[in-house]
Structure 1
Amino acid sequence: MARLAGLKMKRNSVLPGFGLSLGFTMFYISLLVILPLSMIFINSVSVEWSKIWGTISDPRVVASYKLSFGAAFLAGSINVIFGVLIAWVLVRYPFPGRRIIDGLVDLPFALPTAIAGIALTTLYTENGWVGQFLSFKVAFTPLGITLALTFIGLPFVVRTVQPVLQSLEKEMEEASASLGANRLQTFIRVIFPELLPAALTGFALAFARALGEYGSVVFIAGNMPMKTEITPLLIMTKLEQYDYAGATAIAAVMLIFSFTILLIINLLQWWTNRKFI
């Protein structure tokens, strides 16, 4: 039976060297991903459970978890809405300067995160170019953190949704309209099912990127314990204090929660693909 399965795999494989390439892939992933992540749990196990629990249940640490996950989730949700809109405009509407705007979308990829943080802080402080006209405070608040995370996560959604929109045939929308559907019905029943898996993927990428962001957030956050202190900053603080066990414990909890959330998102993506395709 195993021999027949192997022969079938060889017949269906277009490129030769499947065994060698698979072995190299597993070695590369194990070396760069699995091994470093496993060291977090190995170092955590070597510490007494009472000390680990005392560290991860500290009110300051719990507050940082709530802020980091909450701001990352909110920023990812905002990017899904406006990222899909921007991708739609760039794909469907020809207008002067479209290529320039399309290139600006990738700017958060290339821009050093520290520069982005300094620029956002300069703009949104109370005496900044934008902040002086606002009736509410942005910099040094959770709102400023969400703004920075939205900035760095936008390209992930746009670049994930854009190819899907480019591959959609306009004839499907025209056929829907000819059958009596209005624009809203066409979007919900024809376009939305095609965009949903890509939008979920973009959200997952933006969320994961925002969760571990440090450089662009540390300036605009203000880093006030229990208020605007993110988890990556708290891990850095533990490392600077040579509290490697505490930093490892916090990182392990963050890794577990991140993996769980991303797993749920991938399951939702798999379910949407199975339901609508």
Structure 2
Amino acid sequence: MGSGVAEPAHAKINLSLRVSGRRSDGYHELRSLVVFAGACDRLTAAAADELTLGLTGPFGDLLTGEADNLVLRAARALREATGVTAGAELTLEKNLPVASGIGGGSADAAAALRALMRLWGVALEEEALAALAASLGADVPVCLGTAPALMTGVGERIVRLAALPPFWLVLANPGLALPTAHVFRELAAPPLGGDPEEGALPAFVTLDDLAAWLRAEENDLEAPATRLAPEIGETLSALAGTVGCRLARMSGSGATCFGVYAREKEARAAQQVLAAAHPDWWIEASPAIGVSGSG
């Protein structure tokens, strides 16, 4: 492919996800504490006359490189916003499961925006870039960065957090793709009544502080997703049963679940135990990035 620029597209993990209600436009108001995992897709962009997309990686054959792919939509939107006429040869190494609740497509689109701004030597003001990202999908703006964040509204209001205590994650997907729209339909959230409470987050000095707060929170999509895909319950039980797991929860709309661990050694051991018991699952041990003491 020649020389180019590469950007990681890190898995987005919803440590908590509360749904306040359904708005009149059909979207849902939410509040979610988000971190990013070291596990990632990788997007490479090289100079070319036309815009093209090639797909590689273990999950590449589940996607299409056709014009409606979110990566190509992001590239076209950036080109229109900046007046660039050049093309790019894009290659997406798809390492994360598809439609799995960890923001893979959104992270890929955000990585494409970052890579192409570097390749084409262009930049957008922060607000313009955020608006462009939001036009592609509710999760794309938060994926432009990798710092922990509190998302509110439909995901468009983002407060980056200075730091969280360091921890490791084990991500596990039982081989399911679960469309987000199906899960929200199963949730059947009531109409939004008034302005949702937002409130400030407490200070998380230690992982115990964070884990205690998370246990008091929930992922409101976990129950409806589990009704649609009972394998999620099995995945959560398997994670919760590993040594050192502080919390087991589903991310986003599923079906990927995660366990929180204090140390790499515990996470690696849990990954091995789960992989031996469930060889057909996708399982990845990964640090939470952008937190204290992480890269």
Q: TM-score, normalised by structure 2?
A: 0.25
User: Comparing both structures, which one devotes a greater share of its residues to helix?
Assistant: 1
User: Comparing both structures, which one devotes a greater share of its residues to strand?
Assistant: 2
- Using CA pairs under 8 Å that are at least 6 residues apart, name the structure with larger relative contact order, 1 or 2: 1
